[in-house]
Structure 1
Amino acid sequence: MPTTARPPNVAQTDTVPSGHSSRRAVVAGGIGNFIEWYDYGVYAALSPVISSLFFPSESTVASTLSTFAVFGVGFVVRPLGGLFFGQLGDRRGRRTALAWALILVSASTLGMGLLPTYAAAGVAAPALLVLLRLLQGFSAGGEFTGSATVMTENAPVGRRGRVSSWQQFSVITGTLAGVLVVTAITNLGSADALENGGWRIPFLLSLPLGAIGFYIRFRMADTPHFQALREAGEVAERPAAEAVRTQRGAMFTAFFYTALPNIGFYTFLTYTPTFLHNEAGLSLGDAYLANVIGMTVYAALTLVMGRVSDRVGRRPILIAHAAVFFVSAIPIYLLMSHGSLWAALVAQLPAMLIMACYSGPGTAGLTELFPTRLRYSGMALPYNLSSAIFGGTAPFIATGLIAWLGTPLAPAFWAMAAAIPTLIVYLRMRETAFEPLRDR
């Protein structure tokens, strides 16, 4: 049974983060997330175009499956990236790890904008695409958990939900920015603008974004919690091995904690334009528009739910997320497959509210599971394994299930299956919103 009692051997630093350090952490942590998920948003939104340029086939399903298979490839190496950056962040500091993660993601995203297409380079084109997706996935393995750690460890007492919700906000707005750029090119250019080179523009924009982000991260200091640990000489020498040895329960919880949210994010958001275009028959412009409106609402609700979680706790909101997701997945997909823009918009609103019940308190609740000494490493491995298994495969599985079962409702079945273990984890986890962060 869950309990709010503080576990034994809990210690926390005497250094209290200030509001100023929180704001700097939000900007420094969020900029890399923004760029990382900007690319994910661009790739997913451009999937109908990428499938024709890099995986030409007489079958639309085959081309789409190939495109989302490459999308999923990037997730395969995320656990390795999490292991590398987690070790680096827990031993050398959060700033060092996040700076290198940002360099990798910016360079690989820029490279995608310079790729030759299948018509120009044959099989070398999709091979290079896979290579760059692997680099992006490796960097993402350290980006999400690193920025979550930085924001949470810089948050004042009683405001961790509010501050860390900006981490999810940067993920959502990064994805939104990617979709907006693609939408603008689609609606303002000619009918063939995307296929005739317009698809490169969103990827090339990562160069100035990355330069700004690196400058911001280079100037940031490590968190008060990590600095106190380092000054005390208690930084872990082998944090990943120590986390596996001492944090197995928390790591198991973290794995299923993010299972349903990963499926929800990569189906309700990144896969939505493809679903609305291929299954509901909407034009690409209308599909992108519905997605943009939904994500805008989602971003705003995330900040609201983060604040609410500081008042009522993480568990009640997380439990509502999983339970309501389970019962509403089929009605939402039924509405989205109706074939009209208005039906898609009506479906997006409840879907985004359900997702915000995770994205608001989710980052704080996840990071609070681990002590500062092992937080980056302990969180990185289970989170990235969960992302690889449930998130990276979500668009591929959704497309495959629709083709196999012959119904556009098929993605809802996968989400409902994942909701069960996630709900169990939420019901059993301890409430951490009202406790100080553990350092050791």
Structure 2
Amino acid sequence: MRLGSWGSAPIPICLIDYPPSKPVQPTLTNQAQPRAGLSRASLLVATCSTIIEWYDFTLCLYFATVLSRVFFGPGATSLLTALGGFAVSYLMRPLGALVFGHIGDRYGRRRMMLLSMAVMTGAMLVTALLPTHAQIGAWAGWLLLLLRCLMAFSVGGEYTGVVAYLLEGARPGRRGLVTSLAAAASEVGALLAVGVCALLVYGLPTASVDTWGWRLPFLLGAVLAGGVWLARSTMQESPDFERQQEAGTVPTSPLRHTLRYHRPAILRTFAISALGSITYYVGITYVPTFLSTTGQRGEGEALGLSTMAAVVVILVTPFVGLLSDRLGRKPVLAVLAGASALLPITLFSLMRGGSTLQAILGAVVLAAVAGGVSAVGAAATAEQFPGEGRLSGLALGATAATAVFGGLTPFLAELLIARTGWPLVPGAMIALVALLVLPVLLTMPETAFSKRTT
């Protein structure tokens, strides 16, 4: 099937590179009146379907200790090898974001989201059927890495596509709240992943988990992803993309358009996403591995603490999104950056050497800070760009930062702990990034109170 004929909305015959002379800024008021927002059904499908995509993607991180044994064999270096492979796969996220971003900017957000979910469905199903290290040796690890790269390629376009879709379908004054739901839904997916992993670890003997139990979460993910693809086929197209089609302003080369007119916006989104990525991937998804290897806690207890942290993120996210609608993106991000600079070293210390109650406190506070950054960052990054080329801009800024400060940092944290012998390295990494991005957050333009997304 040709890409140009996929879906119900026609593709314009003539696409021009827009604008011909000067860039469109997100806060300009000389645009046509915005269309009516998306239906609640379309917003709900876009939000909830992110649950499954993120369940599929975070499953490997939460299951890292198990998958390291299954696919890389026994030995002290298996976990580090697995985390290193997962880190390499994150380099596919910017590539996926650019490819899917081009599709979304030129052919529509809806088509892009259908394609990304189809790729994820296939990758999950094949992963569930992989042979193990005991069956084919080192080839098992390479195959897992290949499929992990395919998942990262899919997710590269998934999250930015959903954020843009929700932003463009929300009414003014509620964009922070509505787009924060994408972050909340992604954490629901992560909660589902960690819950399923904890259930398996607690409910099955280790030998059964390593032999066949590890396949069950991936099979579940493939089935759920297939169902989401069907639900997404009922979604409306973004009203902003329909505006571009009618006005003839769909850029023929979204990437070139964005690089030409919105370089400062790319740098700002990189900074915002760098903070969101390291607080999330080191402060949340790396925590089970940290607790198991450094905190001397069992896999089941570590996953249980991560489940509590995920619940906190889900509760905090909509509140922070709404707060950013009331107070603005800048002040909320600045406060969260300050907390990220001051608290993480102490919190990792509590998780490592404290009582169970102190470990819970450390994990919960870290999760609340990370969830807050993700919540306000969703709208703040998307609002840096006009509708034309928005997904490509997010790919260049937000997704590139995630590849560096998300995928690489769990591996780097584990490596630095092993090399330096200092178990609080993860907290220091978060604090350093927060200090570096704080000046950018304090000087960026406020976008919360613009009445338009274009």
Shorter-chain-normalised TM-score: which range?
over 0.9
Between the aligned partners of 2:271 and 2:156, the Cα distance in structure 1 is: 17
Query: Which of 242, 246, 265 does residue 257 from structure 2 map onto?
Result: 242
Partner of 1:3: none
Specify which of 78, 89, 108 is matched with residue 93 of structure 1.
108
**SS of equivalent to 1:15:** coil
| Residue 446 of structure 2: aligned partner | 431
* Letter of the 1:425 counterpart: V
Post-superposition shift, 1:177? 0.5
Q: Supply the distance in 2 between the matched residues of 1:88 and 1:8 (Cα, whole angstroms).
A: 25
Distance 1:272 1:40, change over 3 A: farther
Counterpart of 2:20 in structure 1 is none
Partner of residue 271 from structure 1, selected from 261, 286, 290? 286
User: Does the Cα contact within 8 Å between 1:41 and 1:177 map onto a contact in 2?
Assistant: no
Q: 1:102 to 1:339 in 2, by over 3 A?
A: same
Judged with a 3 Å threshold, the aligned counterparts in structure 2 of structure 1 residues 385 and 8 are, in CA distance, closer, same or farther, namely closer
Deviation at 1:8, TM superposition (A): 7.7
Q: Identify the match of residue 48 of structure 1 among 65, 69, 88.
A: 65
For the Cα contact (< 8 Å) 2:413–2:425, is it kept in 1?
Answer: yes
Residue aligning to 1:130: 145
Aligned mate of 1:401, from 391, 410, 416? 416
In the alignment, the residues of structure 2 paired with residue 421 and residue 398 of structure 1 have an alpha-carbon distance, to the nearest angstrom, of 18
* Unmatched segments (≥5 aa) in structure 1: 1-5
Q: Is the 8 A contact 2:26 2:385 kept in 1?
A: no
User: 3-state DSSP class of the match of 2:116?
Assistant: helix
Partner of 1:288 in structure 2? 303
1:14 matched residue in structure 2: 33
- Measured in 1, the distance between the counterparts of 2:453 and 2:379 equals 13
- Taking the TM superposition and a 5 Å limit, the aligned residue runs for 1:167-316 are 167-316=182-331
Q: CA deviation at 1:352?
A: 2.2
Number of residues of Structure 1 aligned to a counterpart in Structure 2: 430
Question: What whole-Å deviation, never above 9, does each CA across 1:24-76 have from its counterpart, x for those lacking one?
Answer: 343332344222221233211211111111112432xx211111112112211
Q: Secondary structure at the match of 2:353?
A: coil
Distance 1:7 1:23, change over 3 A: closer
Q: State TM-score, norm by structure 1.
A: 0.94
Q: 1:71 aligns with which of 86, 98, 113?
A: 86
Cα distance in 2 for residues equivalent to 1:438 and 1:271: 35
Give matches, 1:20-31, under 5 Å: 21=38, 23-31=40-48
Q: Indicate whether 1:158 and 2:153 are aligned.
A: no
The Cα shift of 1:191 comes to 3.9
Match of 2:310, as an amino acid? M
Q: Does 1:38 align with 2:55?
A: yes
Which amino acid is the alignment partner of residue 116 of structure 1?
P
Give the letter for the 2:332 counterpart.
I
Structure 1 residues 226 and 199, CA gap change in structure 2 (3 angstroms): same
The aligned amino acid for 2:350 is: L
Distance in 2, matches of 1:271 and 1:8, equals 38
SS in 2 for 1:373: coil
Q: Which moved more, 1:188-197 or 1:426-435?
A: 188-197
Alignment of 1:300-379 (within 5 A): 300-338=315-353, 340-379=355-394
Cα 1:350/1:87, change in 2 over 3 Å: same
SS in 2 for 1:259: helix
Q: Is the 8 A contact 2:291 2:302 kept in 1?
A: yes
Deviation at residue 373 of structure 1 after TM alignment = 0.9
Query: Does structure 1 retain, via aligned residues, the 8 Å contact 2:168–2:453?
Result: no
The alpha-carbon deviation at position 371 of structure 1 amounts to: 0.3
- Contact kept, 8 Å, 1:333 with 1:347, in 2: the verdict is yes
2:14 counterpart residue number: none
Q: Which amino acid aligns with 1:41?
A: T
Q: Which residue number in structure 1 is paired with residue 158 of structure 2? A: 143
Instruction: Return the letter of the residue paired with 1:248.
Output: R
What's the C-alpha RMSD, in Å, of the aligned pairs? 1.6
Is the contact between residue 186 and residue 193 of structure 1 (CA under 8 Å) also seen in structure 2?
Answer: no
Indicate yes or no: 2:96 matched with 1:81: yes
* Structure 1 counterpart SS, 2:164: helix
Unaligned stretches of 5+ residues in structure 2: 1-24
Letter in 1 for 2:242: Q
TM-aligned CA distance change 1:8 to 1:326, over 3 Å: closer
Q: Does the 8 Å contact 2:27/2:447 carry over to 1?
A: no
Task: State the alpha-carbon separation in 1 of the partners of residues 381 and 300 from structure 2.
Answer: 36
Q: How does 1:99-114 map to 2 (within 5 A)?
A: 99-114=114-129
